[in-house]
Chains A and B, each alone.
Chain A
């Protein structure tokens, strides 16, 4: 107490200014909001704006320098070239297939974790699902490249039954993406299952609902937001990825076109135009996901 009162005078000024700040809400908000909003506004939103802007620029055909002038040429090239349509179709199809596959795989293990396993087993399984998520993305793709290679482990295993693996193809892309993003689907669905009060199962059983009926009419509607939340990750991550298609397949994805144009071809304006495609697709997807309540389950 004595040490406290002896240091009162200098503290007095500090206290008074802090007290003034405590009463001044706009000043507090300014201090809290200016750094994150400033950073985000300038770096992220500013970049998105420049991305949209540069989508209308074009290369000077002679000098290959970027002409900062408005033109719709990139958009015309994007729509008119049938190759681009095939690439976009392939990317969206595989992204949807991966999302559906991960839903199917996530349901049983998430249900087991949330509703059947003992607390000990549950926390072990939880760590078991987390570990692949935290381990390096490229390491996991590299593993599949070894597995899928011609004459690799998968071919060796399937060879015993007289079969052959998918090699490097669209099928392998689908398989590897499903593998990579599976934890992103398991975790929200697990959390969704865990939130359902046990009494609902009893109520459904009391009203004559069998296992399958209860699942379809009680459980499914309740975890739908969680499924939609997980599907945002599986869909969005597949949509923009060009690393996996490069390493385990030969076919081009959306991302490959962007990557090649900003790198090797050095056509940043066309790459920017192409980057608008995933933004558009995701906008539609997020609108649907929001309808299903995904944002409350994130």
Chain B
């Protein structure tokens, strides 16, 4: 690598990182601004808004709903995504190539298409917009991330360890419990984390499948438009940024784990 090329590259990298992080920093700074109107420069620093946010019942309800929806969608996606990945990886059948293409459609097509399709269906069938319809909507695009993670792990794992287990007298269920599942565990955690985060973050599909209930993104969207308790939104925003460091840390840990599994 040439020296001067490297310098420009370093500067560009630092610049792009700054572009990624300055907006997040600004959110953090404004969360402690004494002024309600969020003008520039900030007026002074205070911790008052944290207290206001903690006492806000709407925020708590929205957070609880978001967690419930994300947990349910992740659980269903884990089950369906894993089943599909086993079928596609281990068997050959008519339409096998189509399955992975179909599963990726909800994230390859804009979310508004999935949202509008579900919305039209809920309207036409008259089932009504409930928490259940939000969960169904989220599961649709969560399946693919579990599928991708699990199938990638299956492709890198040799089947001979399962055969060895069966040769040593284990039946199908024992082999799954003691061999296959431990091999898949980190892939399931990674896929589940991603599915949870996608669901927790989703706005567009949620808007089209929710009734009057508000998940945390819907609550934030509402508040920004009404602009009437923005400092509270700021505190929630900082809380969500802090929350997102957990999966990033776990993902990093998992990816160093993965090399161990593949190398074995």
List the interface of chain A (C-beta within 8 A of B).
Answer: 14-15, 18-19, 21-22, 25, 28-29, 31-33, 35-37, 39-40, 43-48, 50-51, 54, 66, 105, 108-109, 111-113, 115-116, 123, 125-132, 134-140, 142-147, 149, 151-153, 155-156, 179, 182-183, 211, 232, 236-237, 239-243, 246-247, 254-255, 258-259, 262, 268, 271-272, 275, 278-279, 282, 286, 295, 298
CB of B237 within 8 A of CB of A142, answer yes
CB of B208 within 8 A of CB of A243, answer no
CB of A50 within 8 A of CB of B124, answer yes
CB of A127 within 8 A of CB of B20, answer no
Instruction: Give the contacts of B147-182 with A (CB-CB under 8 A).
Output: 171-173
Other than the given A28-B91, A43-B140, A109-B13, 8 more pairs (CB < 8 A) read A32-B87, A37-B84, A116-B1, A136-B217, A136-B240, A138-B217, A146-B30, A182-B16
Q: Does more than half of chain A's interface fall in helix, strand or loop, or is it mixed?
A: helix
Question: Which residue of chain B has the shortest Cβ distance to A152 in the bound complex?
Answer: B40
Distance A248 CA – B60 CA, assembled complex (angstroms): 27
Distance A232 CA – B104 CA, assembled complex (angstroms): 12
Distance A140 CA – B24 CA, assembled complex (angstroms): 7
Distance A143 CA – B30 CA, assembled complex (angstroms): 9
Given A36-B84, A268-B119, verify A139-B110 contact (CB < 8 Å): no
Binds A, one of B46-54, B183-191, B241-249: B241-249
**Which chain B residues lie closer than 8 Å to A116 at the CB level?**
1, 6, 9
> Separation in Å of the B197 CB from the closest CB of chain A?
6
CB of A278 within 8 A of CB of B113, answer yes
**Which chain A residues lie closer than 8 Å to B76 at the CB level?**
39
Distance A108 CA – B220 CA, assembled complex (angstroms): 34
CB of B116 within 8 A of CB of A40, answer no
CB of B79 within 8 A of CB of A35, answer yes
Q: Which listed residue (B80, B91, B112, B118) contacts A278, Cβ 8 A? A: B112
**Which chain A residues lie closer than 8 Å to B6 at the CB level?**
116
CB of A271 within 8 A of CB of B244, answer no
B55 close to A (CB within 8 Å): no
Question: Which residue of chain A has the shortest Cβ distance to B193 in the bound complex?
Answer: A134
Given A32-B84, A131-B245, verify A255-B1 contact (CB < 8 Å): no
Provide a sorted-by-A list of 29 A–B residue pairs whose CB atoms are within 8 angstroms. Answer: A25-B91, A29-B87, A29-B93, A32-B91, A33-B84, A33-B87, A36-B81, A36-B143, A39-B76, A50-B124, A108-B12, A109-B12, A127-B249, A130-B248, A132-B20, A136-B220, A138-B220, A143-B23, A143-B27, A182-B16, A182-B19, A236-B110, A237-B110, A240-B112, A247-B224, A262-B116, A278-B110, A279-B113, A298-B104
CB of A242 within 8 A of CB of B117, answer no
List the interface of chain B (C-beta within 8 A of A).
Answer: 1-2, 5-6, 9-10, 12-13, 16-17, 19-21, 23-24, 26-27, 30, 38-41, 76, 79-81, 83-84, 86-87, 91, 93, 99, 101-106, 108-114, 116-121, 123-124, 136, 139-140, 143, 171-173, 197, 200-201, 203-204, 207-208, 216-217, 220-221, 224-225, 233-234, 237, 240-241, 244-245, 247-249, 251-252
> Separation in Å of the B151 CB from the closest CB of chain A?
12
Given A35-B83, A36-B84, A125-B13, verify A137-B110 contact (CB < 8 Å): no
Q: Does more than half of chain B's interface fall in helix, strand or loop, or is it mixed?
A: helix
> Separation in Å of the B58 CB from the closest CB of chain A?
15
CB of B24 within 8 A of CB of A275, answer no
> Separation in Å of the A229 CB from the closest CB of chain B?
10
**Which chain B residues lie closer than 8 Å to A125 at the CB level?**
13, 17
Question: Which residue of chain B has the shortest Cβ distance to A266 in the bound complex?
Answer: B123
**Which chain A residues lie closer than 8 Å to B39 at the CB level?**
151-152
CB of B120 within 8 A of CB of A50, answer yes
Given A111-B9, A116-B6, A156-B40, verify A36-B112 contact (CB < 8 Å): no
Distance A155 CA – B40 CA, assembled complex (angstroms): 9
> Separation in Å of the A61 CB from the closest CB of chain B?
19
Question: Which residue of chain B has the shortest Cβ distance to A232 in the bound complex?
Answer: B108
Distance A40 CA – B224 CA, assembled complex (angstroms): 35
Distance A266 CA – B244 CA, assembled complex (angstroms): 36
CB of B23 within 8 A of CB of A39, answer no
Given A115-B1, A143-B24, A155-B40, verify A241-B140 contact (CB < 8 Å): no
